[in-house]
Chains A and B, each alone.
Chain A
Amino acid sequence: MRLWGPVTAAAVLTASAATAQVPTTFIVESPTMTTGEMMPRDYSPDGRNVSPPLSWRGLPPGTQQLAVICQDHGAGNPPPWVHWILYNIPATASGLPEGIPFDPADAMPPGLGGATQGANGWGLPMYRGPAPPGTSLHHYHFAVFALDAALDLPPGLTRAELLEAIDGHVIGQGAMTPHYSRHPASADLTR
């Protein structure tokens, strides 16, 4: 079993996004999730399967835009399995509310004008939460990138396409890594 801590997460980030400069680190938090602790089931198909709220602070000066990737480095062939990609996030945003719309026809929440979603591991431009097999415990890495340019990236980019597009623009990185294992319904349904 692999455990993710802040140091490991930072290493993954650096390896994932080749940058011309060394990005600074900033804080990524959530009012409902904590690194190293279980995610609420509402962020998984055991619940409403909505995207979790995130917030960040300490962005590096000159941040023009942000991008978010949620990925599971313990799944996918090759890893990681991508659960969510969101980019073109204005730097004025201090975070993301819960439940970013999964239908591209729906408006983004206030303050997130222009933000758009990329293709997750299922090829869908939306958040789909953890569904690890059986009762296994997987770790979900929410990586946030601070960019030095307001890129007008098209919707539907894959993780690889996004990382290529932001290459050279990443001036800061932050992450949090909660985990999840499934809650079989049988007990709930017999209550």
Chain B
Amino acid sequence: MADEPRNRPKISRRDLLKSAGAAGAAALIPGRAAADAPSAAPPASAPAAVAPAGPLMNLTAQETELLSAMVDRLIPSDDMGPGALEAGALRYIDRALSEAESDSVEAYRIGLAALDRYSRYSRGAPFSELSDRDKDSVLIDVQLGGATGAGVGFVGSSGAFFNMVKSHTWQGTFGDPMYGGNVNFIGWDILGYPGVRMRVSEDDQRQMEAGQLPPARRSAYDFGQFQVGGGED
């Protein structure tokens, strides 16, 4: 019997995007499969996205390389478009570790070291040097907790580390650009998010339903109604 190529969607990117609704901006996606939404070109004047070339402020060069390799597999750049690295998720995470997530710096250091140790132990090579398939396989084991019992240094469940990095990666990819990620609104383009709007006319609604509404590409904080830290006492 001839083997026919499997014609089913990949798990990685599409499923990640479909379930990205919990991550900030994605909660505002119109009711359609995000990955099926037409992509919109970023503004012509927007600067090109550049991943940090050197160490981040809060991580060493080796830790940065590891985190970069992990983030790259969580939302990879592929034929559907750019991924988390291009969206500046690393810069977002670094900034968060200096501010609201400063308590997580040690968890990153320990988790990244354990990730690399686990990769060397189970797959025989540093995580950054594995093939994409092997990186994905390692990350599945980290996510499911299978790496926990390998004795490689994860504190608690390896899944807790995975979920922390995944959550920050999604925030840095799909959150408001004011926080340092979602460079050039790449994340919102991936999701087909129409953008922050103070009012939506009937005509806007019709265009949106027809998939023809040009996306509004402004940070929520460009509007006077929103202020950083607003709403907090």
- Interface positions of A (Cβ within 8 A of B): 44-49, 90, 92, 102-114, 116, 122, 124-126, 128-129, 131-134, 155, 182, 184-186, 188-189
Known contacts A92-B1, A114-B4, A184-B151; decide if A189 and B122 are in contact (CB<8 Å).
no
In the complex the two chains form, is A185's CB within 8 Å of B150's CB? yes
What are 10 pairs between A and B in contact, CB < 8 Å? A45-B146, A45-B147, A46-B122, A49-B146, A90-B1, A103-B10, A105-B6, A105-B8, A106-B6, A111-B3
Q: When chains A and B are docked, how far (Å) is the Cα of A44 from the Cα of B122?
A: 9
* Interface assignment of B73: CB less than 8 Å from any CB of chain A: no
In the complex the two chains form, is B150's CB within 8 Å of A128's CB? no
Q: Which residues of B contact A112 (CB under 8 A)?
A: 3
* Interface assignment of B120: CB less than 8 Å from any CB of chain A: yes
Q: When chains A and B are docked, how far (Å) is the Cα of A102 from the Cα of B140?
A: 10
Count the B residues whose beta carbon is within 8 Å of the partner chain — how many?
Answer: 32
Q: When chains A and B are docked, how far (Å) is the Cα of A92 from the Cα of B137?
A: 30
Measured CB to CB, the closest approach of chain A to B216, in angstroms, equals 34
Measured CB to CB, the closest approach of chain A to B88, in angstroms, equals 27
* Interface assignment of B133: CB less than 8 Å from any CB of chain A: yes
Q: Which residues of A contact B4 (CB under 8 A)?
A: 113-114
Measured CB to CB, the closest approach of chain A to B126, in angstroms, equals 13
Measured CB to CB, the closest approach of chain A to B153, in angstroms, equals 9
A45: contacting residue among B2, B11, B122, CB under 8 A: B122
Q: Which residues of B contact A108 (CB under 8 A)?
A: 3, 6
Residues from 1 to 54 in B contacting A, C-beta threshold 8 Å: 1-6, 8-12
In the complex the two chains form, is B10's CB within 8 Å of A104's CB? yes
* Interface assignment of B117: CB less than 8 Å from any CB of chain A: yes
Q: When chains A and B are docked, how far (Å) is the Cα of A112 from the Cα of B121?
A: 31
A189: contacting residue among B2, B10, B117, B141, CB under 8 A: B117
In the complex the two chains form, is A48's CB within 8 Å of B137's CB? yes
Measured CB to CB, the closest approach of chain A to B113, in angstroms, equals 11
Majority SS at the chain A contact face: loop
Residues from 120 to 150 in B contacting A, C-beta threshold 8 Å: 120-123, 133-134, 136-137, 140-141, 144-150
Known contacts A49-B137, A128-B140, A182-B149; decide if A189 and B1 are in contact (CB<8 Å).
no
Chain B minimum-CB-distance residue to A110:
B3
In the complex the two chains form, is A47's CB within 8 Å of B151's CB? no
* Interface assignment of B152: CB less than 8 Å from any CB of chain A: yes
Residues from 191 to 215 in B contacting A, C-beta threshold 8 Å: none
Chain B minimum-CB-distance residue to A129:
B146
In the complex the two chains form, is B121's CB within 8 Å of A188's CB? yes
Q: Which residues of B contact A126 (CB under 8 A)?
A: 140
Q: Which residues of A contact B10 (CB under 8 A)?
A: 103-105
Q: When chains A and B are docked, how far (Å) is the Cα of A130 from the Cα of B2?
A: 33
Known contacts A47-B122, A102-B137, A105-B10; decide if A185 and B151 are in contact (CB<8 Å).
yes
Q: Which residues of B contact A90 (CB under 8 A)?
A: 1
* Interface assignment of B188: CB less than 8 Å from any CB of chain A: no
Measured CB to CB, the closest approach of chain B to A61, in angstroms, equals 19
Residues from 136 to 184 in B contacting A, C-beta threshold 8 Å: 136-137, 140-141, 144-152
Chain A minimum-CB-distance residue to B145:
A131
* Interface assignment of B108: CB less than 8 Å from any CB of chain A: no
Measured CB to CB, the closest approach of chain B to A7, in angstroms, equals 31
In the complex the two chains form, is B144's CB within 8 Å of A128's CB? yes
In the complex the two chains form, is B2's CB within 8 Å of A113's CB? yes
Known contacts A45-B141, A182-B149; decide if A104 and B122 are in contact (CB<8 Å).
no
Chain B minimum-CB-distance residue to A106:
B6
In the complex the two chains form, is B6's CB within 8 Å of A107's CB? yes
A131: contacting residue among B3, B137, B146, B152, CB under 8 A: B146
Measured CB to CB, the closest approach of chain B to A114, in angstroms, equals 7
Q: Which residues of A contact B146 (CB under 8 A)?
A: 44-45, 49, 128-129, 131
